[in-house]
Structure 1
């Protein structure tokens, strides 16, 4: 009795066709998923912009209210209306506590130190650098 081969020609052709269909659908499916993700991001962005727009419209309505304008002028500009007595409370400045440790005077800037060393070298009053080998002469 002859044994039938496990992979027939028809099965091989069917497998190739199925693979070709899968490969041809892979790119469009990937693009579809990508576009759906983009649409979701754009919807979220649209919702954020709409909320910002509503907040700005509310602020615009608020700026047309004369009571809000007066209140804002009083808070920000310390505006005082006619016949009103307004006070501005200032914080009391605490006297600086003296520290027990005397502060060292600040070191002079580098350019002042450099210039003083140049002047000292010119006058010959500067300190002489001590090296291992000194020439006697």
Structure 2
């Protein structure tokens, strides 16, 4: 009877650990599937935006609204308030990227040449506490 109880206890423990691993994997799989669904939706949205840029009329309308561009012969105007400030949203340019702020390659190269050719700074002389004295070897050897 005790042996049977012991065997059942061992089986229950082994199945419990397997069940725990199964549940963890199922949760991880559900999370991965949710991420895939979100990524697929984002990809479809971006493909739709890309397809809109194939339409020259859309590109023209976007340039007119964002940058205030006008065609040759048209007259552009901006409505201003009593203080002289533009009413509504005016033309805007995209923000500068980090690539534009990065130094040119030749400037980085010359800086490295200057650093490599520089004279090292003098260090202060070691004090007597910092000096390591060689150990005396036995004269028997």
User: What pairs with 1:29-44 in structure 2 (closer than 5 Å)?
Assistant: 29-44=19-34
Runs of 4+ in 1 over 3 A off after TM superposition: none
The separation in 1 between residues aligned to 2:18 and 2:45, in whole angstroms, is 40
What is the alpha-carbon distance in structure 2 between the residues aligned to residue 51 and residue 76 of structure 1? 27
Structure 2, unpaired ranges of 5+? 85-141
- Structure 1, unpaired ranges of 5+: 1-10, 95-137
TM-score, normalised with respect to structure 2: 0.56
Q: CA deviation at 1:92?
A: 3.0
| Cα-to-partner distance string for 1:90-116 (whole Å, 9 max, x where unaligned) | 23328xxxxxxxxxxxxxxxxxxxxxx
**Within 5 A, what are the aligned runs for 1:41-80?**
41-80=31-70
| 1:40 Cα deviation after fit | 0.2
Which structure ranks higher in relative contact order (CA pairs < 8 Å, sequence separation ≥ 6)?
2
The yes-or-no answer on 1:90 pairing with 2:80 is yes
Q: Which runs of structure 2 are paired with 1:108-123 in the superposition (5 Å)? A: none
Distance 1:91 1:54 in 2: 42
Could you say which structure has the larger radius of gyration? Answer: 1
In the alignment of these two chains, the number of paired residues is: 84
CA distance in 2, matches of 1:58, 1:36: 33
Q: Which residue of 2 aligns with 1:128?
A: none
Mapped to 2, the partners of 1:18 and 1:93 lie a distance apart of 87
Q: 2:12 aligns with which of 22, 25, 33?
A: 22
Q: Cα RMSD over matched residues?
A: 1.4
